[in-house]
């Protein structure tokens, strides 16, 4: 870890820099894009909740040939077409309640091109480029060449339906094979963690099969000059994947004019001198991030990412969601119909760490109503109702000597922080939310077991100790609800904020006034 300190001189918590892959903008955003953004947002919000210095980056990949093709098909000028669709992706931030700190559009952001050129020159200085003619099968959907044995039985790309195009070009190539051992060592040693382990094993198998050098430029004529020109060779533009991968460092000022004040401060803070550098990506682009990107950074002598979280796909009718396949589901439309909380909760609860997740609106509604409306909502509503009914909205003080012994509710509350931390270290949102759900279930059972309404009746009858017991039950329930509201905030930030508003905050010794809760109103109204 880096030796960072706060202004007061006390050690700071480790920095956390998290990024998503940047999508092509040849069409509208779909649910797969939303999944990745929400997963990264949960990690960023959780890190901030634990008071870690955090930066969350996303953006758009503007220089893809498929963007050019889509603009031509629409009869539009490429820059205008791309800029319009970039705004569709920017609009996901409010719709999905994202806490992004930065958004980089590769075609217009002034930070990007200097960084692409700087990384290219560093690799050129390392002797890792050469130029040659090449013939191969190119999938425009993936923006990559495939060997025949990587295609399916019908000769099609495993990710996209159209047949690859046979392309003959003279391009610049990167000596990927030179860095095979170093890439493998970085992964095997744990210097770069690929999560889950099954994806790590796939990358190692890919490395074991042998690496071939790959093309890192395209003729400028093929894309009408759209892209970043190769330094020293304007007849070529930088290959879109090279261009796109560098966004993780160009957004931090990599390659900026060193004479500009503070030009490289972000790069030093979050990458070169940072602690955790985390990528969240889909399984279809694992090799680009876990092999090619590592090799480029090794060639340039730059630090590597520390973690690459790989997720599988959201499917509909058993098929991957994709614009080209006509199976896209627009996330903004879902938010308009069902709300941000419902969609984010579905991602957290239904998408496994390993394996695809089949989406239906019925499943989205069921998850929301069963676990948020009925589970969390019912617990908070009944707790606040009890506090208002029996203590006029004032929360009894929780005694330090609770003398209740270890029970299910105490265990769930006491363990939730560590359980959530451990789960999100593996980007396992399902396990993390499961830990929060255990508090809800335990607290609902606690209400049924302790029967505070009966304790209140015994208190009114003058039974000794009944009032103390009722105070304890109500205080523990409010405490559990407040912990739930805090730990839910990375997953459903809007709903969690409404919970915290109703539940209030514990009053400290230096705070005037009683500890009170608000009036119970439905935080998660039923959808079905």
Domain ranges within the chain, ordered by starting residue? 16-338, 361-503
Q: Which two tokens stand for residue 427?
A: 């980007």
Angle in degrees, CA 67, 72, 76, rounded to 5 = 95
Q: What is the pLDDT of residue 135?
A: 72
Neighbours of 318 (CB within 10 A): 8
Tokens 């503070």: give the residue.
262
Q: What is the pLDDT of residue 488?
A: 98
Segments of the chain with pLDDT less than 70 = 1-11, 136, 138-163, 259-264, 318-328, 400-406, 507-513
Residue in this structure with the two tokens 């909380």, named with its chain if needed: 341
pTM over 0.85: yes
Taken in order 148, 214, 222, 157, the sign of the CA dihedral is positive
Rg of the chain in Å (alpha carbons)? 27
β-bridge partners, 24:
61
Cα separation, 1 vs 71, whole angstroms: 46
Residue 357 and residue 282: Cα distance in Å, rounded? 13
**47 contacts: CB under 8 Å, gap ≥ 6:** 16, 18, 54
Domain 16-338 has CATH 3.40.630.190: no
Of 453, 328, 457, 329, the closest CA to residue 382 belongs to: 453
Q: According to the model, what pLDDT value does residue 487 have?
A: 98
Q: Which residue(s) pair with 322 in the sheet?
A: none
Q: Does domain 361-503 have CATH number 3.40.50.620?
A: no
Neighbours of 7 (CB within 10 A): 6
Check residue 103 and give its pLDDT. Answer: 97
Q: Which residue, chain included where needed, has tokens 């025949």?
A: 148
Q: How far apart are CA 207 and CA 130, in angstroms?
A: 22
Going by the DSSP 8-state scheme, the letter that residue 102 receives in this structure is E
**In whole angstroms, what is the distance from residue 384 CA to residue 393 CA?**
7
pLDDT at position 5, please?
A: 44
The residues assigned a catalytic role are 30, 33, 139, 142, 157, 160, 320, 323
């Amino acid at each position: 870890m880096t030796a960072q300190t706060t202004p007061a001189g006390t050690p700071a918590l480790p920095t956390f820099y998290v990024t998503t892959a940047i999508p092509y903008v040849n069409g509208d955003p779909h649910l797969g894009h939303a999944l990745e953004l929400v997963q990264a947002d949960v990690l960023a919000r959780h890190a901030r909740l634990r008071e870690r210095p955090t930066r969350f980056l996303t953006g758009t990949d503007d220089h893809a040939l498929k963007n050019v093709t889509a603009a031509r098909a629409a009869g539009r000028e490429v820059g205008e077409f791309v800029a319009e669709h970039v705004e569709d992706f920017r609009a996901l931030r409010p719709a999905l309640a994202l806490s992004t700190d930065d958004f980089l559009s590769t075609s217009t952001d002034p930070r990007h091109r200097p960084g692409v050129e700087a990384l290219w020159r560093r690799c050129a200085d390392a002797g890792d480029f050469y130029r040659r003619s090449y013939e191969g099968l190119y999938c425009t959907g993936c923006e990559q060449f495939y060997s025949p044995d990587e295609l399916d039985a019908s000769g099609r790309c495993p990710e996209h339906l159209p047949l690859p195009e046979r392309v003959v070009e003279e391009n610049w190539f990167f000596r990927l094979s030179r860095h095979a051992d170093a890439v493998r060592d970085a992964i095997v040693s744990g210097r770069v963690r690929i999560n889950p382990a099954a994806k790590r094993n796939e990358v190692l198998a890919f490395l074991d099969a042998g690496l071939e050098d790959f093309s890192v430029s395209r003729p400028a004529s093929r894309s009408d000059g759209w892209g970043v020109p190769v330094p020293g060779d304007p007849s070529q533009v930088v290959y879109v994947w090279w261009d796109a991968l560098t966004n993780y460092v160009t957004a931090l000022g990599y390659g900026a004019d060193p004479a500009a004040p503070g030009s490289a401060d972000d790069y030093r803070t979050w990458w070169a001198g940072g602690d955790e550098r985390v990528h969240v990506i889909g399984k279809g682009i694992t090799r680009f991030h876990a092999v090619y990107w590592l090799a480029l950074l090794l060639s340039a002598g730059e630090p590597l990412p520390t973690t690459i979280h790989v997720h599988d796909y959201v499917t509909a009718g058993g098929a991957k969601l994709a614009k080209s396949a006509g199976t896209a589901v627009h996330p903004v439309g879902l938010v308009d119909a069902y709300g941000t909380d419902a969609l984010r909760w579905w991602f957290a609860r239904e998408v496994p760490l390993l394996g695809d997740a089949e989406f239906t609106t019925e499943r989205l509604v069921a998850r929301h109503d069963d676990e948020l409306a009925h589970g969390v909502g019912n617990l908070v509503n009944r707790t606040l109702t009890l506090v208002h009914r029996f203590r006029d909205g004032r929360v009894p003080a929780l005694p330090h000597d609770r003398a209740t012994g270890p029970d299910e509710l105490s265990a769930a509350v006491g363990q939730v922080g560590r359980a959530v931390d451990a789960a999100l270290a593996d980007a396992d949102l399902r396990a993390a939310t499961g830990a929060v759900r255990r508090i809800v279930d335990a607290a609902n059972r606690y209400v049924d077991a302790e029967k505070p309404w009966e304790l209140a009746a015994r208190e009114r009858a003058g039974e000794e100790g009944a009032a103390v017991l009722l105070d304890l039950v109500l205080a523990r329930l409010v405490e559990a609800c407040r912990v739930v509201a805090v730990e839910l905030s990375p997953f459903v930030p809007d709903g969690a904020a409404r919970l915290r508003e109703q539940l209030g905050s514990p009053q400290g010794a230096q705070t005037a006034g009683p500890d009170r809760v608000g009036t119970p109103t439905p935080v998660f109204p039923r959808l079905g």
